[in-house]
Amino acid sequence: MALAELNQTPTPPRTLGYDYDLVIVGGGIIGLTLASALKDSGLSVLLIEAKVTSTAVAKGQAYAVHMLSALIYQGIGIWDKMLPQITKYCRVRLSDADYPDVVEFDTADIGKPELGYVAEHQALLQPLQEFVQNCPNVTYLCPAEVVSTQYQQDIVAIDIKVAEQLRTVRSRLLVAADGARSPIRQAAGIKTHGWKYWQSCIVAFVKPEKPHNNTAYERFWSSGPFAILPLPGNRCRIVWTAPHAEAQALCALNDEQFLAELSRRYGDHMGKLELLGDRFIFQVQLMQSDRYVLSRLALVGDAAHNCHPVGGQGLNLGIRDAAALAQVLQAAHAAGEDIGNMQILKRYERWRQLENLTILGFTDLLDRIFSNNFLPVVVVRRLGLWLMQRVPILKVFMLKLMIGLKGRTPELAKYEIV
């Protein structure tokens, strides 16, 4: 049923008119990825998003898209729609402040034509939105708001406000893809553990004078990591981590002063920099949910976990969650099992919770080891960089861990990029 038809059909204030196998709350990249991955599952899906499409697409953000994520989108059948709008990177340069040894990863290390990709928010979101609107088993309801949920033995009843009218949807499973502050998770009473870091991130687009040569940079400073991601049109996205007060002070500078500070951190290897658009700042946090599932409920993406942005892991973990949950649900449905049953959902939790915790711990350790000037730690981390550059097996292991080629691979990702 088309979105326009849903909005125009007259309905009473409350009705039991919808019945779906699963309802996904959150029509961002992760919710859309899950719906897209279920296109051939035989499951009926309702996808609910609170923001109007144009508002969601306008979000000014960019992400590192790891190799495993690209393989998942290739398996779904949407990668060719995304690829023209994104940039591949063929080298990653990892360095520690002014330490002269630089670890350089390149395509020869893994025998692939590229190491990963960088995409702006809309370059991923728009193709996914278009894709699900052409999936006959997916109803895309936007804008709509979940008001309440009632979990029962065999179904979950979800009250939804659409055009100021309240409707009740009954589903075998509810999936929360509604972000770090997930109202669905909170209403279900699932607790989380973690902390807010002493750091904030400044993100901005810049255009360097010289070509970026499809190279991504991650340079560690005592105040926090500093990343440069290549984008189409010889633009770059910077992700600058600093203690809260320093980050606020940097954002308060005028453009000329900010560019001067940025150039000191960025270096002169790309020539003069031009600032494009506004700067944004956000606080960094680590969070892991105590559980990813309850009977009739599953969490994916930021609703389940958050990590430090070092290494660009966050979005990619969510994409893997979506692919893993889709695989579990599709297999259960094919076997005639109840997809909302706790026993089925535990298969997803066992798969993803430990893998995500490993990456959360890895990013936390990286930030803590590199974001300080304690001499013994400085010596150890620089020895680690020295070894990584000179011991190929260590270097390849670290690269594969960073781009998602370690851990269990979803069936969707068992394709080669073409």
pLDDT of residue 16: 40
Q: How confident is the model at residue 186, as a pLDDT? A: 97
| Cα separations in angstroms, 42 against 17, 39, 177 | 20, 8, 21
Region 93-115: mean pLDDT is 90
Q: What's the mean pLDDT in 135-141?
A: 95
How many degrees, rounded to 5, is the angle at CA 95 between CA 318 and CA 371? 70
Q: How many CA atoms lie within 13 A of 36 on its CB side?
A: 29
Q: Residues 256, 257, 263, CA angle at the centre, nearest 5°?
A: 90
Question: Is it the case that residue 60 has pLDDT exceeding 80?
Answer: no
Q: What's residue 103's pLDDT?
A: 92
Confidence at 30, pLDDT banded by 50, 70, 90 = very high
pLDDT bin (cut points 50, 70, 90) of residue 210 is very high
pLDDT band at 270 (very low <50, low <70, confident <90, very high): confident
Question: Six-digit token pair at 146?
Answer: 């979940």
**What DSSP string runs through 354-390?**
HHHHHHHHHHHHHHHHHS---HHHHHHHHHHHHHHHH
Return the SS3 of 340. coil
pLDDT of residue 3: 40
Q: Output phi, psi for 19, to 5 deg.
A: -135, 125
Residue 363 has pLDDT above 60, yes or no: yes
Burial 265-298 (b: 16+ CB within 10 A, else e): ebeeebeebebeeebebeebebbbbebbbbbbbb
Confidence of residue 98 (pLDDT cuts 50, 70, 90): confident
- The closest alpha carbon to 240, from 254, 256, 259, belongs to 259
> Model pTM?
0.92
**Which runs of consecutive H residues, i.e. helices, occur in 172-302?**
183-188, 244-252, 255-266
Among residues 289, 266, 391, 281, the alpha carbon closest in space to that of 348 is found at 289
Q: Is the pLDDT of residue 400 over 60?
A: yes
Q: Which pLDDT belongs to residue 53?
A: 59
Of 127-131, 136-140, 271-275, which range is least confident?
271-275
Q: What is the pLDDT of residue 12?
A: 35
d(CA 107, CA 90): 6
Contact criterion met (CB below 8 Å) for 140 and 133: yes
Structural domains of the chain, with CATH: 3-65+81-86+121-194+290-372 (3.50.50.60)
Q: Lowest-confidence range among 3-7, 82-86, 319-323? A: 3-7
Residue 55 pLDDT > 60, yes or no?
Answer: no
pLDDT tier at 299, thresholds 50, 70, 90: very high
Arithmetic mean of pLDDT over the chain: 90
More confident residue, 78 or 4: 78
Q: Is-contact 89 216, C-beta < 8 A?
A: yes
